[in-house]
Amino acid sequence: MAAPRHFLQFNDFSREEFEYLFARARRIKAQFKSYQQYWPLVDRTLVMIFEKASTRTRLSFEAGMQQLGGSAIYLNTRDSQLGRGEPVEDAAQVISRMSDIVMIRTFEQDIIERFAANSRVPVINGLTNEYHPCQILADIFTYVEMRGSIEGRTVAWIGDSNNVCNTWLQAAEVFDFNVNVSTPPGYEVEAERAGLYGTNHYREFADPMAAARDADLVTTDVWTSMGFEAENEERLRDFEDWQVDAEMMRVAKPDALFMHCLPAHRGEEVAAEVIDGPQSAVWDEAENRLHAQKALLEYLVLGRVTT
Ligand code: CP
Ligand code: NVA
């Protein structure tokens, strides 16, 4: 049996594969919007394993699989043997014999890597401490829909160098764009943890306003990610000056977009007038999780299709 393809971090796929996925996502989205039934995954089962909370990821994968004619099963740590110490390798053997594709949201990247190494079916990263590749798949699809190619553009990342930031940095290497990163001292990018090739696609700025200057896209995320709640109070103090506000959007390009993976905290990492303002793309970004991941599910289960 050939080893399955997985999507565990963004640079697992080539730029050409992403271009294919975007073309499929455009088609799948248009079909969905015109109420055309498209059921390529009849009798196929997606298992979704959540070790952290989720609204968008669960909904988009579960609805997406059903819309493709398949079914989705939700497992979480609390109600399954995963929370009682069953080795992840054993869980992978069993779960992958009963399903066609698996999505996992968990803590360390090592957990999903070990699952994938023991899985007979493709595994998708639905967020780990290190990466969130499905988010950036949808975000770049959204950028291209709204503004055209992202190649050569400048993305400003303001805030924590977390899983979403790391994935933007990988995407910059794949698509050849630049990321201006501004984090508070002590929260800088760790290139090795971000899994970068070292191709100089990002620059670090002490001043968030300098990072945002002339950017085509300004983006941020929560100051405290899931799993880091114990640091919340300290982070509220450390990140105080890293809020994306109207003044920051004014120094970016006049047609710059604002993105946020959501959930957002208005008054912390983003001002209400920005996320609820005319440059904000957050609702399209969230919706496109559905369409982009349907293309991903189709690709990983069936390979390339021509329908
Ligand atoms: N952006 C995102 O992944 O949202 P959820 O945590 O709600 O899945
Ligand atoms: N960085 C956030 C993203 C949530 C979708 C977290 O990991 O909690």
**Ligand minimally distant from the alpha carbon of residue 260:** 1
The topology (CATH level 3) of 10-132+286-302 is Rossmann fold (3.40.50)
The token pair at 108 is 């360390």
The residues, any chain, with a CB within 8 Å of residue 87's CB and separated by 6 or more, are none
State the Cα–Cα distance between residues 285 and 140, nearest whole angstrom.
9
The topology (CATH level 3) of 135-282 is Rossmann fold (3.40.50)
- pLDDT attached to residue 307: 79
Same fold, 10-132+286-302 and 135-282: yes
- Mean predicted lDDT score pLDDT of the chain: 97
Split at pLDDT 50, 70, 90, the class of 80 is confident
Note the helical H segments in the chain: 15-33, 56-67, 88-97, 109-117, 133-147, 163-175, 208-212, 232-238, 246-251, 272-275, 282-302
**Domain locations along the chain:** 10-132+286-302, 135-282
C-beta contacts of 82-85 below 8 A and 24+ residues apart: 82/49, 82/51
Ligand 2 mutation pick, 136, 160, 222, 260, max ligand atoms within 8 A of CB = 222
**Amino acid letter for position 150:** I
Report the separation in Å between the CA atom of 262 and the middle of ligand 1, taken as the mean of its atom positions.
6
**Ligand minimally distant from the alpha carbon of residue 125:** 1
| pLDDT tens digits along 2-44 | 899 999 999 999 999 999 999 999 999 999 999 999 999 999 9
The residue whose C-alpha atom lies closest to atom 4 belonging to ligand 1 is: 56
- pLDDT attached to residue 82: 86
Atom of ligand 1 nearest to the CA of 127: 3
| pLDDT tens digits along 125-174 | 999 999 999 999 999 999 999 999 999 999 999 999 999 999 999 999 99
SS3 225: coil
- pLDDT attached to residue 81: 87
- pLDDT attached to residue 196: 97
- pLDDT attached to residue 57: 98
pTM for this prediction: 0.98
| pLDDT tens digits along 38-74 | 999 999 999 999 999 999 999 999 999 999 999 999 9
The answer to whether the peptide bond before residue 278 is cis (omega within 30 degrees of 0) is: no
User: Phi and psi for 219 in degrees, rounded to 5?
Assistant: -145, 155
Is residue 134 in contact with ligand 2, taking CB distance under 6 Å? no
- pLDDT attached to residue 246: 98
Atom of ligand 1 nearest to the CA of 58: 8
| pLDDT tens digits along 172-204 | 999 999 999 999 999 999 999 999 999 999 999
105 belongs to the catalytic site: yes
H helix count then E strand count, the chain:
11, 9
97 belongs to the catalytic site: no
| pLDDT tens digits along 233-275 | 999 999 999 999 999 999 999 999 999 999 999 999 999 999 9
State the Cα–Cα distance between residues 111 and 269, nearest whole angstrom.
29
Summarize the confidence of residues 280-293 as an average pLDDT. Answer: 98
Has residue 77 got a pLDDT over 90? no
The residue whose C-alpha atom lies closest to atom 1 belonging to ligand 1 is: 261
Atom of ligand 1 nearest to the CA of 262: 1
Q: Which residue has the tokens 């983006």?
A: 219
